[in-house]
Amino acid sequence: MTKKQQFTLEFPVRCSPSILYEFLSTPAGLQEWFADKVDERDTVFSFSWSGDEERANVVEAEEDKYIRFHWEEAPKEEFFEFRIEKSEVTNQTILIINDFAEKKEIKDQSQLWSYQVKDLFHRIGS
């Protein structure tokens, strides 16, 4: 099995960190843009796409700053994370996504994230 590599994507967003965090960390927010259906029970999120369900545990989180998930089926060291930062120069909010993929799949995964983030920005009016 090929070891996956971490990759990072950054997206400037016209939105306050607290509003953005709601879309990244709550079932209702994630269901708006990330998955067809999202449920949460005791820090375990269930994500459904076209009837297929995957579960992820919240590993770490800090309100309005970041949330890190670990897919239950993934190796221990792999995760996906949404991080919110403010540019010191422009004071603009920046969404940073960290994820893992096989080297040959990073481009496709990046395009998928870009598509999903575009939907997120549409939902928040950015």
Domain annotation for the chain: domains and CATH numbers:
5-124 (3.30.530.20)
Q: What is the DSSP letter of 16?
A: -
The whole-number average pLDDT for the span 11-15 is: 93
pLDDT number for residue 2: 61
pLDDT number for residue 1: 54
| Structure token pair of residue 93 | 């909010």
Distance, CA of 121 to CA of 126 (rounded, Å): 5
pLDDT digits (tens, 9 = 90+) for 32-71: 999 999 999 999 999 999 989 999 999 999 999 999 999 9
First to last CA, the chain: 40
pLDDT digits (tens, 9 = 90+) for 91-107: 899 999 999 999 999 99
Helix (H) or strand (E) holding 18: helix 17-25
The whole-number average pLDDT for the span 5-26 is: 96
Distance, CA of 86 to CA of 17 (rounded, Å): 8
Distance, CA of 46 to CA of 54 (rounded, Å): 6
